[in-house]
Structure 1
Amino acid sequence: MIFNMEMETLSRGKMTEIQLERLKETVRRVYERVPFHKQAMDAAGVTPDDIQTIEDIQKLPFMKKTDLRENYPFNLFAVDMSEVVRIHGSSGTKGKPTVVGYTKQDLDNWAEIVARGICCAGGKPGDIFHNAYGYGLFTGGLGLHNGIERLGAVAVPVSGGNTSRQITLIEDFKPRGISATPSYVLNIVEEMKKRGLDPRKTSIKYGIFGAEPWSEELRAQLEAELDIKAVDIYGLSEVMGPGVSIECHEVQDGLHIAEDHFLAEIIDPNTGEVLPYGAEGELVFTSLTKEAFPVIRYRTGDIASLNPEPCKCGRTTMRMSRIKGRVDDMLIIRGVNVFPTEIESVLFRFAQLAPHYQVVIERDGALDRFEVHCELTPEFAGEAGSLESPAVSALTKQISHAIKDTLGVTVVLRMLPPNSLLRSEGKAIRILDNRNRSQAAI
């Protein structure tokens, strides 16, 4: 291996020293080179000289995604365009895309971070690695790809989609590792079964899954279906891309943050107050080594918690919990806050349901109506005979009671025949909000 693993086992004191030195350097650089940051810090009454301890980061103002859009495309870059070697960005489906840039050193750091992460997940040099994340402006595909190569493994850049080809390559190339969104891997499993193939008999031993929130129940299903270790990876383009944190295959209890490159905080999403370790809130990241596009206290919108205790695997890096959901995706059902992953955790307890669902929000007069659309498995649907059968009615009541008992909310369950919901070739669409469409029709 051509990268240093020592950073993952440093003492808390030594790691804090490294973070503080890099934080001071980053804050001074953005203050001097990025007008947005200078104006924000001046408005907050803080200068780079005020950053003398790690806790002083709390004096700095937050960044939000709207700041990226308002400074589109390159106004947040801290280097001249002659030093930028790559640009990534979001799809821009909700307006202008968010744009991020990388210097050569940024890409080198990113590759090392991802390589370390793949090792953490159980990978090793020489592995053939099936990379089914999308390539292009989305950071997933190329981010994993460069880390695979840095590790000394063999990258299969299949990208997303074309499930038939995915299966062929898995059968013929015999990869040991795979990466994709968990919902898409379920589609691959489903298609394998339709072809009479046993997903448990592939060569795959570990999977690195992310880019969407997913539950422990879905992890259990993926591990059972493929006979693998399934680990969660986290990242977002604004902070770097995939690899900001990842679970270890030994423990699978929290995602190890690449702390030498990223400083994490948890805040109250309503007040901005920094919360103590173990408390659940909004995840905030500050980059410590990025040259082209540094971020200072970037509010990710993701809900998680932090754990500074050393892991049983031997790593001492800060761990973040798995993402519970996004602030924007939180549903308020009759006054109760619910995330789609919490609904998923209940649905996946029932073997009669296929691992595909969608929360549909409709306007019902002055109120919102929440429906959960579930698919029956082909086996159960065949036994039941029809959606109106007593067996389906009994199952619907049983699941409704489980959701009520677990989450404290009542939702309308709609059972669907097998293969009714649209399959994802990337991130699954878990929430379908029809309220605006309903209002337009009135």
Structure 2
Amino acid sequence: MTTPLEDKTFWNSQTQTASREELDAIHLSKIRNMVAWAYEASPLHRRLYDQAAVKPSDIVTWDDFHHKLPFTDKPDYLADQDASPNGFGGVALGPEHWQQYFHTTGTTGHFMNETFSQYEMQKAGSQYCYALHDYGMVPGDSMYFCFNWGNWIGLWSFYWGARDFGLQIISGGGLSTEDRIKQIVKLKPTIVVATPTYLLHLAEVALGMGVDLRDSGVRMVAGGGEAGLSIPATREHIGEIWGVGDMVMDAYGVGEALMIGQSCKKWGGGVHIIEDVCHSYVADPQTGVPLLQEDAVGEHVITSYTHFSQPFIKYRTHDLVRRTSRPDHRCGWNFAHLPGVVLGRADYMVTIRGVNVYPTAVENLLGDVAGLTSHYELHISRASGFDRMLVKVEAHPETHIEHGELERHLNAHLRDCLGVRLETEVLPAETLPRYELKTKRIFDHRTDAERPTITLGQK
């Protein structure tokens, strides 16, 4: 009889197949240890906990965690960062332990500096091994990286994971898109890693060069930073143009805790939370009350077990997710699942005439309209007291359908599926900018006074 430790189906069968009750017990124990560590080692956390009149010994049950322990948020770390002589906020380990520096991508307008020790980088890399193993990769396979190794941490952690797993590393850093395509065709890597948008861009440029990437020998594509690889229409299109079928691996990351979610091969419409490295739950973005029912949609709140230099405990991500705590995808993983990954942002909550509109829903619907591409932007504004959303999307360069007709088809499809009318604008091909890292999809033109107020409090 095969024991859990001998089961090679999973990267870590003991936890991947543990019951929800077993996992929750492990989480509560880890969280109590993290709270005690942060209170002793991080001046920021001690100050926040003292202000809330809570001591580590007060956190005994889940109710204590949910209703006594205060949330932490990016502004807490930024304020501490600005007041710190070394420019890092919320630190719990001194500079002698720091090995590498990064910062967040700044999508909210202000970079947050991050530092990691060697142990933390190794541990963060392990997050990828669960999915790489599940997709059938083996040591000696090769991974091609399409980014320039800057201060954005996302694909750095993918690099650490590839090394942990024993993959051969091929760097496309510093190369043009055309030169990367030539290198991919020549070296035939097993896996190509990039953001979803850049994977699409590579295929477009390749066709213009007379290169069909379906013949490149690539067996799998992987990436993160955007929702595209878990959007059915985008995922299927990328799998088709790269010739990899369903070998499309998605990774969900929060810069403060790194890539905490990975897709399984059996069901590619979302990611499993890697519960060995992170605890997560969802909360009402208005009240902070935990939403513990199955398939609840709310703001994702996380606690990282891989970041001791800067602890992130009960940390607001501002991502809106749907969380399933007991998934059944026939993959055998019991880790919680986020279908569709990030549905939107709590700070980009858009309610159009009483209907909540998620950006990922719009992207998925674009793929249903023949003649359109996956390149789009959402522009949010407010007029006469109501939020409005303008969807800009590029027409396919080979379509023969007039742009006006495409707009009418798109407008009707969005209205029928979302239950509300959005403004639409179809643009010529190659009109919108292309990005190597995270693509900017959402442009919020509302003033601070016009945006909904999101506050989190105790029950």
Question: TM-score, normalization: structure 1?
Answer: 0.89
Distance 1:357 1:310 in 2: 31
Q: Which residue is equivalent to 1:293?
A: 310
RMSD: 2.4
Q: Which moved more, 1:72-81 or 1:179-188?
A: 72-81
- Report if aligned partners of 2:373, 2:393 keep a CA contact under 8 Å in 1: yes
**Aligned partner (choices 156, 159, 167) of residue 145 of structure 1:** 159
Deviation, 1:36, is 1.8
User: What are the Cα deviations for residues 149-173 of structure 1, in whole angstroms up to 9, with x where unaligned?
Assistant: 1101111222487211221121011
The answer on 1:246 being equivalent to 2:262 is yes
Distance 2:337 2:360 in 1: 20
- Report if aligned partners of 2:392, 2:427 keep a CA contact under 8 Å in 1: yes
Distance change in 2, residues 1:271/1:21 (3 Å): same
The answer on 1:216 being equivalent to 2:217 is no
**Aligned partner (choices 26, 49, 71) of residue 41 of structure 1:** 49
Q: Which residue is equivalent to 1:237?
A: 255
Distance change in 2, residues 1:220/1:113 (3 Å): same
- Secondary structure of the residue aligned to 2:296 is coil
- Secondary structure of the residue aligned to 1:280 is strand
Distance change in 2, residues 1:95/1:71 (3 Å): farther
Q: Which residue is equivalent to 1:360?
A: 379
Distance 2:202 2:281 in 1: 36
- Opposite residue 43 of structure 1, the aligned amino acid is Q
- Report if aligned partners of 2:17, 2:332 keep a CA contact under 8 Å in 1: yes
**Aligned partner (choices 414, 423, 431) of residue 442 of structure 2:** 431
Distance change in 2, residues 1:24/1:364 (3 Å): closer
Distance 1:220 1:133 in 2: 23
- Report if aligned partners of 1:207, 1:230 keep a CA contact under 8 Å in 2: yes
The answer on 1:273 being equivalent to 2:289 is yes
Q: Which residue is equivalent to 1:174?
A: 188
The answer on 1:61 being equivalent to 2:92 is no
Q: Which residue is equivalent to 2:115?
A: 101
User: What are the Cα deviations for residues 40-83 of structure 1, in whole angstroms up to 9, with x where unaligned?
Assistant: 22222321112223443212110111112111132411111111
Question: How do 1:42-441 and structure 2 match up within 5 A?
Answer: 42-58=50-66, 59-72=68-81, 73-92=87-106, 95-159=109-173, 162-214=176-228, 215-228=231-244, 229-239=247-257, 241-242=258-259, 244-276=260-292, 277-309=294-326, 311=328, 312-321=330-339, 322-361=341-380, 370-380=389-399, 383-384=400-401, 391-434=402-445
Deviation, 1:12, is 3.4
Q: Which residue is equivalent to 1:387?
A: none
Distance 1:349 1:355 in 2: 11
Distance change in 2, residues 1:329/1:124 (3 Å): farther
Deviation, 1:174, is 0.5
> What percentage of aligned pairs have identical amino acids?
30
- Report if aligned partners of 2:190, 2:217 keep a CA contact under 8 Å in 1: yes
Deviation, 1:121, is 4.1
Deviation, 1:246, is 0.4
- Report if aligned partners of 1:134, 1:141 keep a CA contact under 8 Å in 2: no
- Opposite residue 40 of structure 1, the aligned amino acid is L
**How many pairs align?**
426
User: What are the Cα deviations for residues 92-111 of structure 1, in whole angstroms up to 9, with x where unaligned?
Assistant: 46554212221222112112
- Opposite residue 352 of structure 1, the aligned amino acid is G
- Secondary structure of the residue aligned to 2:425 is strand
Deviation, 1:219, is 0.9
User: What are the Cα deviations for residues 154-197 of structure 1, in whole angstroms up to 9, with x where unaligned?
Assistant: 11222487211221121011011122110111101111111222
Deviation, 1:364, is 6.0
- Secondary structure of the residue aligned to 1:305 is strand
Distance change in 2, residues 1:315/1:412 (3 Å): closer
User: What are the Cα deviations for residues 101-138 of structure 1, in whole angstroms up to 9, with x where unaligned?
Assistant: 21222112112222333223443211111122452221
- Report if aligned partners of 1:161, 1:425 keep a CA contact under 8 Å in 2: no
User: What are the Cα deviations for residues 209-245 of structure 1, in whole angstroms up to 9, with x where unaligned?
Assistant: 2101232211111112222222221111112x22x11
- Opposite residue 430 of structure 2, the aligned amino acid is N
Gaps of 5+ in 2: 1-7, 82-86, 448-459
User: What are the Cα deviations for residues 257-313 of structure 1, in whole angstroms up to 9, with x where unaligned?
Assistant: 221221111100111000023111011101234321111100101111222225421
Distance 2:65 2:445 in 1: 41
- Opposite residue 218 of structure 1, the aligned amino acid is T
Distance change in 2, residues 1:308/1:360 (3 Å): closer
Distance change in 2, residues 1:93/1:259 (3 Å): closer
Distance 2:240 2:62 in 1: 43
- Secondary structure of the residue aligned to 1:378 is coil
